Structure 1
Amino acid sequence: MKLSRRQFAGLALSGAALPRAALAQDLTPAEAQRAAIFGTSSEFREAMALIEARGDSDMVAGLLLSLRFSRARAPRISQTLEALTGEDHGSDWFDWMLWQEANPQIIPHDSYPAFAREMYLRLDPNFDQFLRPEYITRDKTRIRLEEVTWGGVVKDGIPSLDNPDLIAAGAADYLRGDDLVFGVSINGDVRAYPLRIMGWHEMFNEVIGGVPVALAYCTLCGSGILFETKVAGRAKPFIFGSSGFLYRSNKLMFDRGTNSLWNQYTGAPVIGPLVDSGIALKQRPVVITTWGNWKASNPTTRVLSLNTGHRRNYGSGVVYNDYFGSPDLMFPAQVDQRDHAQKDYVFAVRQFGAARAWPLEAFKRTPVINDAIADTPLLLVGDSATRSVRAYERGVRTFTPASGRIKDQDGVEWQVTESALIGPDDTRLPRVAGHISYWFAWDNYMGDAATVYDG
């Protein structure tokens, strides 16, 4: 998944030609849609003429799918798209997809799900597990199927780490002090998962402190979210993997029990048999910080071993280095950039029936922010340099920084821990789950339903 957005537009599929009987005068809309990518040269020309003459924008989604995978036919497909929409984005699949996202009133032809399924199964027959015909019709999905895109890998092409080997902190001589890690502490079980390893795997399934959890790390949107995987009413915890599909530049993960596709950002199933289950995974706190800081605060921590069972270059700054260093996205997603650049970092909380984000930039001015989400007062302790933010319920108290420590309005010092903010009389203010994210993902998924701290 390290191709540029322009390279993706030139990927090609091979396929069988249409039956010879499918001539222009006999083509149905479904056959014309299929001919855009799978037809012979003459069938392709006839299909484009028929689609233009028909003049209905319900063919746009199928044409966009064809545009991505056929460089040779892109100019003629683009001409047809312009005729149907009045828009001119040339052969730029990326820009056409942004236009499609901004125009949800355009409903694809009823044949689109079957066409998309055929296209994607040619890339990987295992995609059949996710795109069952009975689950991909418009009335069954919770996201627009036409906005589901291929991420460039097959099913499990980004392999999850399931109960991986861990080593003691002192044995982790492969780590540098400034390497970033995901830090997790549950019921006294303290662990670190380096981003330089997790970037290659994007998912772990573990039991930490007796709690089954999965870390879903979408490298494209900069968010690592820790979910509880044991759900009431289900006998076993969910085990997750990476499907190979994306939605608005966010990974769609899948559970190995039902093969439902889940939105990584919301922790809810969006395609498949669990769509109407009402399940939304509960979040657990996780922090990004440096290995040096985490080890100093948690000397008993264990950390991922390099012995993952996979051959990858786990060196510092290797995985997704070009993407992380670029202001551009690899896949299309609409974003409001009036106040924030699309890859600015925010700390995101979705709790207490509300959603709110704090730009990481705000913590450059102060490491301590007293704020609230809905009617719940929060304390946020952050460090923009290490991408570290922890949130706590603060009740009626307000806090200020004091020489690297935290004190309340009465001048009493409190201890910042992974589970709670602890006062000298052992008063505990509980941690609140949240995660780091690129702005574009927060804006795209939360939008007007969320608020943003403006400092």
Structure 2
Amino acid sequence: MKRSFAWFLVPILLLIAVEVLSVYFIMPFPGSQLGLDANNPYETSTARLEWAYWLHQNIVWLRLVGLLLLAYPAYLFLIKPRRAWHRYVAGVLVLAYGVVLYEVNQEMMADHMFLQPITKRVVPMSQNKIPGNKLVIGYEAFGQATAYPIQLIGYHHQVRDTVGGQPVMVTYCTVCRTGRVFSPVVKGQADEFRLVGMDHFNAMFEDKRTGTWWRQATGEAVVGPLRGLGLGELAARQMTLDEWATEHPNTRVLQADPAFADEFAGMKNYDRGLSKGKLTRRDSASWQPKSWVIGVDRSGYTKAYDWNQLQTTRILNDVVDGEPLLLAMSPDSVSFGAWSRRMGVQTLNFQYTNRELTDLETHSVWTWRGHCIAGSLKGRRLEPMPKAYQEFWHSWRSFHPDTQQYTKR
């Protein structure tokens, strides 16, 4: 009977292990999100993802094989046990498998935990109910602008919309503090995506047509048939709704779906870094894993800037990949912009004194939006640098391992 018990024990434990591992590798359990090289945990190794993807693709037949192996031993122990305790042990293990199967596939799957809007409403400012001090991801195309509150898309993780006649996929990962807008068009055809899990604490989506997994922070296909491809990123900006609406008076605004009122309420303090969750709260000190940084990407050359420093100095002058950069913060201390300091053949250098932003070359006065409002350059505008993001330091350095850190001058 010891041998028979092993016949039962091995397949039931393997079935439980398969279910647990299918979510362990792609959800934020202790140790699950790091690279396999313990000496370099931020190395973006794909081995863990490949294991997770293989399990995901083959879970059905793995279950079938396990159940077939379990069938006869289960019959022996549940129907015709030689000892009463055999039936109890077998019953408990079968019940445990049933609980694990339900929890994994109904409660722990990412797309069951974070649902898409049931009733999506995008309205003009005249009908808007979102407070003006809430942070939004703003996107404008072909004369149509839309604001997506972080409090809302932070729960949904993605919202599909049409802006300026083109489909867009607005995404946000609260654990990385990454907001990105992508075109959902893959190889000439708009696809559908579902939240499947996490990679290095970053949201990961699965496309419907091929089952490929895509990383939210970069739009890269990391495992699956389309591995190596990238979603087309669309230039978006993060700021308060008030500031966005000042720039785009005719903007539309995504409204809260009443079906998720409790979930949105739990996100009310996330905007300002006051979340209580271990994975989403902010480190107030600089250059800690959960510290805020502004990451700038220019043609693959990346640099990170300390949010605390920018709040103090209000502006930063620097050069990224040969392009002179101006980072400027709004008077509200949460909205920011990134601009090229080139003005024709001239490179401007900026200073912030007496609450006024001026350039040293012409002494013209500028707004934080890169607009000149007084002086010889009045009416001129700086060109935006589109790939500038606020996010957690651990996220930026994970997906930009060669990034430079700006040091105070």
User: What is the TM-score when the length of structure 2 is the normalising length?
Assistant: 0.68
Q: Find 2:189's aligned residue among 221, 230, 236.
A: 236
Residues in 1 aligned to 2:218 and 2:359: alpha-carbon distance in whole angstroms: 34
Q: Deviations over 1:292-325 (max 9, x none)?
A: 333344322221133x4x6111787523858952
1:220 to 2:170 alignment: no
Mapped to 1, the partners of 2:254 and 2:152 lie a distance apart of 8
**Secondary structure of the corresponding residue to residue 384 of structure 2:** strand
1:365 aligns with 2:312: yes
Match of 2:207 in 1: 255
Give the counterpart of 1:440 among 384, 389, 394: 394
Pick aligned residue for 1:38 from 12, 15, 18: 15
**Contact kept in structure 1, 2:329 and 2:368, CA below 8 Å:** no
- What letter matches 2:195 in structure 1? S
Deviation at 1:262, TM superposition (A): 0.3
Matched residue SS, 1:319:
coil
**Between the two proteins, what is the percent identity of the paired residues?**
21
Residues 348-397 of structure 1, C-alpha deviation per residue, up to 9 Å, x if partnerless? 12222211111211112211111121211111112596532211122211
Q: Secondary structure at the match of 2:181?
A: strand
Is the counterpart of residue 312 in structure 1 residue 299 in structure 2? no
Are the counterparts in 2 of residues 327 and 342 from structure 1 also a CA contact under 8 Å? no
In structure 2, the residue matched to 1:453 is: 406
1:425 offset after TM fit, Å? 4.8
Q: CA RMSD in A?
A: 4.5
Q: For 2:123, which of 163, 167, 182 is the aligned residue?
A: 167
Change over 3 Å in CA distance of 1:434–1:254 after alignment to 2: farther
Q: CA deviation at 1:115?
A: 7.8
Change (3 A) 1:415 1:326: same
1:404-453 CA distance string (max 9 Å, x none): 55432211234555xx7565354552342222111111122223x11121
Q: Would the aligned equivalents of 2:146 and 2:253 in 1 still touch at CA under 8 Å?
A: yes
Deviation larger for 252-261 or 156-165: 156-165
Cα–Cα, structure 1 residues 99 and 338, in superposed 2: closer, same or farther, change >3 Å?
A: farther
Higher alpha-carbon deviation: 365-374 or 285-294: 285-294
Q: TM-score, normalised by structure 1?
A: 0.62
Separation of aligned partners in 1, 2:169 and 2:135: 19
1:369-380 matches, within 5 Å, as 369-380=316-327
Residue 407 of structure 1: aligned partner: 358
Give the length in aligned residue pairs. Answer: 346
Does 2:252 align with 1:302?
A: yes
Between 1:281-290 and 1:349-358, the stretch displaced more is 281-290
In 1, Cα distance between equivalents of 2:322 and 2:245: 35
Q: What's the secondary structure of 1:312's corresponding residue?
A: helix
- How is 1:199-214 mapped onto 2 (pairs within 5 angstroms)? 199-214=154-169
Q: Which moved more, 1:111-120 or 1:377-386?
A: 111-120
User: Equivalent residue for 1:273?
Assistant: 225
Give the direction of change, closer, same or farther, for the CA distance of 1:236–1:192 in structure 2 (3 Å limit): same
Pair 1:176–1:338, CA change in 2 (3 A): closer
Partner of 1:53: none
Check whether the contact 1:393–1:432 (CA below 8 A) recurs between aligned residues: no
Secondary structure of 1:362's aligned partner: helix
Alpha carbons of structure 1 residues 187 and 329: separation in structure 2 relative to 1, 3 Å: same
String of CA shifts for 1:178-208, please: whole Å, max 9, x gaps: 2222222334322211122222211122332
Q: Distance in 1 between matches of 2:260 and 2:33?
A: 32
In the aligned structure 1, how far is the partner of 2:188 from the partner of 2:173?
A: 27
Contact residue 387 and residue 436 of structure 1 kept, 8 A? no
Aligned mate of 1:393, from 315, 325, 340 = 340
Q: How does 1:24-423 map to 2 (within 5 A)?
A: 36-38=13-15, 65=21, 94-95=30-31, 98=34, 100=36, 102=38, 116-117=55-56, 152-155=108-111, 157-160=113-116, 164-172=120-128, 174-230=129-185, 234-243=187-196, 245-276=197-228, 279-306=229-256, 308=257, 311-313=259-261, 317-319=265-267, 325-326=275-276, 328-329=278-279, 340-383=287-330, 386-395=333-342, 396-401=347-352, 406-409=357-360, 410-415=362-367, 417=369, 421=371
Cα distance in 2 for residues equivalent to 1:196 and 1:96: 26
For 1:114 and 1:254, the matched residues in 2 are separated by 11
Q: CA offset at residue 291 of structure 1?
A: 2.6
In the TM superposition, residue 341 of structure 1 has moved relative to its aligned partner by 1.9
Higher alpha-carbon Rg = 2
1:319 alignment partner AA: M
The answer to whether the Cα contact below 8 Å between 2:239 and 2:335 also exists between their aligned partners in 1 is: yes
Q: Deviations 1:229-253 (Å, cap 9, x if unpaired)?
A: 446xx3224443322x111211101
Distance in 1 (alpha carbons) for counterparts of 2:193 and 2:19: 32
Are the structure 2 counterparts of residues 119 and 154 from structure 1 closer, same or farther at C-alpha, using a change threshold of 3 Å? farther
Q: Which amino acid aligns with 1:446?
A: H
